[in-house]
Amino acid sequence: MPEPAATIRGLRKRFGRTEALRGVDLVLHAGEVHALAGHNGAGKSTLLGVVAGVHRADAGEIRLAGRPFRPRSPADARRSGVATIHQELSLAPSLSVTDNLLLGEREPFFGWLAAGRRRARAAAMLRRLDLTIDPDAPVESLPLAERQLVEIARAIGQGAKVIIMDEPTSALPAQDVERLLVLVEELTKKGAAVLYVTHRLEEITRLATRVSVLRDGALVLQGEAGAVGRAELLREILGREDDPQDQPARKGPADDEAPLLAL
């Protein structure tokens, strides 16, 4: 049996007197979406920050494909194959799609030859995810949804095997949400492991193979997404009974795009 794409064991992190993470265990598998839910302040951002190299854990370990992973910075995490798609994108708006996709890469040629090679490479990165975005377009001319797609294409092009997505649909208009969800499904078909943070229960139903819930820095629920009922999920997120309907989640189209949980 292949090693999990990422294994997190006993992760702990304090900020002063606040214990933000309390022995968190999490396993991410290639080709799956692992949804992470929790109320604001539950510890989600801290967990993402540790995996992405923003914070250093006080205790615990992370392994990527069985190998120890101790990122010292976000750049270190990216070099190791972990990419984070934040709500605030890291693209350079004034540069073209091509320049953003290949930002930081060295080109051995100069002038028109280099430009042609770079454009062809960028176009191939977009085609890999079936994206029809113009490689020459300035990023600032693209709608938010397409900017997100460019950032995801860059992550895959840089060899990311683990992709962390932090509330990726929270700022998108309803008509663009479906396009992003389809791309997430495509990423898993290509073998990526996706840690997907969301407040939208219908996105968990649609995308996730597994789901975990954080509350007060600790995991209070882990399981197969299809076996976790809506009421149980809400109860663990909120820490109280909230919904009398408890029906197991089933993968399929969402009934609507509005958040079922607004925090």
In tens, the pLDDT along 85-117 reads 987 788 999 999 999 999 866 655 444 557 888
- Going from the C-alpha of 153 to that of each of 3, 97, 101, 149, 158, the distances in angstroms are 25, 10, 7, 6, 9
Contact partners, residue 175, CB within 8 Å, separation at least 6 = none
CA distance 82 to 78: 5
Is 89 strand, coil or helix? coil
Q: Tell me, what's the pLDDT at 261?
A: 52
The share of the chain scoring above pLDDT 90, in percent, equals 75
- 113 or 15, which is more confident: 15
In tens, the pLDDT along 112-139 reads 557 888 899 999 999 999 999 999 999 9
Tokens of 254: 């969402």
CATH numeric code, 1-81+161-263: 3.40.50.300
Exposed/middle/buried for 43, CB within 10 Å: 0-12, 13-18, 19+?
Answer: buried
CA distance 127 to 101: 13
User: Half-sphere exposure (CA, 13 Å, Cβ side) for 196?
Assistant: 34
- AA identity, residue 17: R
Give residue limits of the domains in the chain: 1-81+161-263, 91-160
